[in-house]
A and B are shown apart, each in its own frame.
Chain A
Amino acid sequence: NFMLTQPHSVSESPGKTVTISCTGSSGSIASNYVQWYQQRPGSAPTTVIYEDNQRPSGVPDRFSGSIDSSSNSASLIISGLKTEDEADYYCQSYDSSNHQVFGGGTKLTVL
């Protein structure tokens, strides 16, 4: 079964840049769109990146997405970290049946 692997947790200081990776277990991650979701404690997820690198209106341009075919991975990059960015982040793509698959999530701590 296709899986997306994310680091369990990352931490960085305010003002710095953090990269959260999402690695596909097989196939080419570049052949399907990747989305990224932010989930603060006790809240529903919200979309921060869709279709690899598109930002919904209202999401600051400090958030960006990229794809690296050589490592079969996607990345969420957050620059100029703020304490409000502290949350869980999930990537999402698709398996061979075109069913949605989510990564296990990464807890971002801004300290």
Chain B
Amino acid sequence: EVQLVESGGGLIQPGGSLRLSCEVSGFTASRNYMSWVRQAPGKGLDWVSIIYSGGSTYYADSVRGRFTISRDDSKNTLYLQMKSLRAEDTAVYYCARDFDGSGNYPYYWGQGTLVTVSS
């Protein structure tokens, strides 16, 4: 069974850093396209970043230079390192996997972890 479990969210002050984790099971993260998608309170879905199976990484303009996506193949875990956090980064962050290892779109979703940026 495919499972994605996010962790690492919490309350952080503006300008601070936080690392989100997405521990996966039932598949090998390195063989799939893995995305981070966020949702601000009461708002819609917003793509953040993706790492392809080959290791290429891409970012939304709003987070490029501040966020870094990575994975640890030995732990089958996806990460999102977030720096210089802003109030507008407050959101539930979802990690997602593609369908079959070649699709640049979320298919399986985690339950999300809440990040609150506030002083």
Which of B94, B104, B110, B111 is A100 in contact with, Cβ under 8 Å?
B104
Number of interface residues of B (CB under 8 A): 21
Closest Cβ neighbor of A43 among chain B residues: B111
- Identify which of residues 58-111 in chain A touch chain B, using a CB-to-CB cut-off of 8 Å: 90, 92, 94, 97-105
Closest Cβ neighbor of A46 among chain B residues: B109
A99 near B110 with CB under 8 A, answer no
Chain B positions within 8 Å of A105 at CB level? 44-45
A47 at the interface (CB under 8 A from B): yes
A35 near B106 with CB under 8 A, answer yes
Nearest CB of A to B105, in Å = 5
Chain A positions within 8 Å of B107 at CB level? 35, 47, 50, 56
Which of A44, A92, A100, A101 is B109 in contact with, Cβ under 8 Å?
A44
Which of A44, A51, A101, A103 is the most central at the interface, judged by chain B CB atoms within 10 Å of its CB? A44
Closest Cβ neighbor of A106 among chain B residues: B44
B109 near A99 with CB under 8 A, answer no
A98 near B94 with CB under 8 A, answer no
Chain B positions within 8 Å of A101 at CB level? 47
The answer for the CA separation of A90 and B90 in the assembled complex, in Å, is 20
Chain B positions within 8 Å of A100 at CB level? 35, 37, 47, 50, 104-106
A50 near B47 with CB under 8 A, answer no
B46 near A102 with CB under 8 A, answer yes
Which of B45, B58, B106 is A47 in contact with, Cβ under 8 Å?
B106
Chain A positions within 8 Å of B50 at CB level? 99-100
Chain B positions within 8 Å of A92 at CB level? 45, 105-106
Which of B44, B99, B108, B111 is A103 in contact with, Cβ under 8 Å?
B44
The answer for the CA separation of A47 and B100 in the assembled complex, in Å, is 14
Which of A37, A46, A98 is B45 in contact with, Cβ under 8 Å?
A37
B-binding residues in A (CB < 8 A): 33, 35, 37, 39, 44-47, 50-51, 56, 90, 92, 94, 97-105
Sorted from nearest, which 3 A-B pairs have the closest CB atoms?
A100-B47, A105-B44, A102-B45
